[in-house]
Amino acid sequence: MKPLLIKLNLIFLVILCFSHTVATASTKNEIKYVLRNLDQTQNQCPELFDAFPEGGMRIFYCHVKTFLSYKRLQKLAHKPIFIKGPHSKTLLNLKNKNEFGYYNKAFVTWLRNEFISAIKSAQFKKSTQTVYHQYIQSLARTYYLVHELLIIDPGYLQQELEHYLKLIEINSLPEYYVNRYYEFADLFDQGFNGDVVKTAVLFWIRRVIDGTEAEFFIGLETLLKAYDTHFIDQIHCEHPEFATEPMECAQLNYKIAKQTLKLVYQNLRRKLNKQERRKLQKSQQAWLKFQNHNVEFWALPYQGEPDEAIEKINVKTKLTQLRTKELESFDNKWIMGLNE
């Protein structure tokens, strides 16, 4: 009898492990399918204005719901999505004005790991880069920047957190409370959508309250590092309050300027015939010599100074940007003297 029980236990363990593997593979495949087909989604929340892909997290969810519903995600997770709040296991209650859902940290960790596993393939990332750029980039960048600006000001974050919880406690939360964050950190003036910014601020305040802020941020940062290589570094360079090293920023800006010039040069070259390409090549070679000589000249005021190396890189960046504009403005053969 004992050998039979041992065999049954082993079979049960094998089935259990196999079912977990299948479930994991299924989740990863569904995430991949959603990412590949974001351009095929439709708004599943007719009561909401469809601002996708320029809108916030809620309308993004309403589009993802085309292929991956809340109920389906709950089934894949094998664990509650929320541990507290107005939502049930099968239905999201988005109309409740005085409560919000407390995410289950175990669920967020699971989802983050599944997502990271889904996008780790270089081939998959390459095939979905355009989708990211068109449908995810704006939202991801806004949520990342808002998070960083909140975290570096713990006094403000704590103040807003306590104020929000107090209003909920006394059942006095205004219907449009989120609007107070529309002009948060003047991001609207920097080209960010104020409607998305305000919801991002409240999202992160809620995540600090429910204890899942770190888990969500790791997933977001992984997404940006996979698809938006330079954005994180750029943002830290553009905001002195993040205390980024000046040399790192100078090198990053020059790298981006070089890549932009290379792209413009290659695009122009494809439009030219063989003779014109030779002229363009000679022009570019002459410009490179010009750049090297001018760097030494324009950096003379900083000679011997601690910032000399940084200023030389900054000069190269500016010259590279000017050259890029020259090539972009090229629009007829006459500029190259071919009509003489």
Nearest C-alpha neighbor of 60 from the set 90, 26, 35, 86:
35
Instruction: List the end-to-end C-alpha distance of the chain, in Å, as a whole number.
Output: 100
- Domain assignment present for residue 16? The answer is no
Q: Looking up tokens 């479930």, which residue turns up?
A: 23
pLDDT for the residue numbered 240: 67
Nearest C-alpha neighbor of 76 from the set 130, 31, 44:
31
The verdict on 171 and 282 lying in the same domain is no
pLDDT for the residue numbered 250: 85
pLDDT for the residue numbered 24: 53
Q: How far apart are CA 183 and CA 64, in angstroms?
A: 28
pLDDT for the residue numbered 267: 86
pLDDT in tens, 247-276: 888 887 888 888 889 888 988 888 889 998
Q: How, if at all, do strands 102-103 and 82-84 pair?
A: antiparallel
- Domain assignment present for residue 236? The answer is yes
Contact 168, 96 (CB under 8 A): no
The verdict on 233 and 185 lying in the same domain is yes
The verdict on 93 and 181 lying in the same domain is yes
Q: Look at the chain and report how many structural domains it folds into.
A: 2
Handedness of CA 193, 109, 230, 41 (dihedral sign): negative
- Domain assignment present for residue 181? The answer is yes
pLDDT for the residue numbered 207: 98
Q: How many CB atoms lie within 10 A of CB 248?
A: 13
Q: How far apart are CA 29 and CA 81, in angstroms?
A: 20
Report the interhelical angle of 213-227 vs 194-210 (nearest 10°). Answer: 130
Handedness of CA 54, 58, 60, 62 (dihedral sign): negative
pLDDT for the residue numbered 23: 45
Contact 36, 128 (CB under 8 A): yes
Query: What's the half-sphere exposure (Cβ side, CA atoms, 13 Å) at 47?
Result: 3
pLDDT for the residue numbered 68: 94
The verdict on 44 and 112 lying in the same domain is yes
- Domain hosting 332: range is 246-336
The verdict on 80 and 200 lying in the same domain is yes
pLDDT in tens, 191-234: 999 999 999 999 999 999 999 999 999 999 999 999 998 888 88
Q: How far apart are CA 43 and CA 201, in angstroms?
A: 24
The verdict on 150 and 251 lying in the same domain is no
Supply 37's token pair: 């087909």
- Domain assignment present for residue 7? The answer is no
Q: Which residues of the chain have pLDDT under 70?
A: 1-25, 240, 243-244, 331-340
DSSP notation for 91-104: ------SS---EE-
- Domain assignment present for residue 17? The answer is no
State which of 241, 258, 291 marks the end of a domain.
Answer: 241
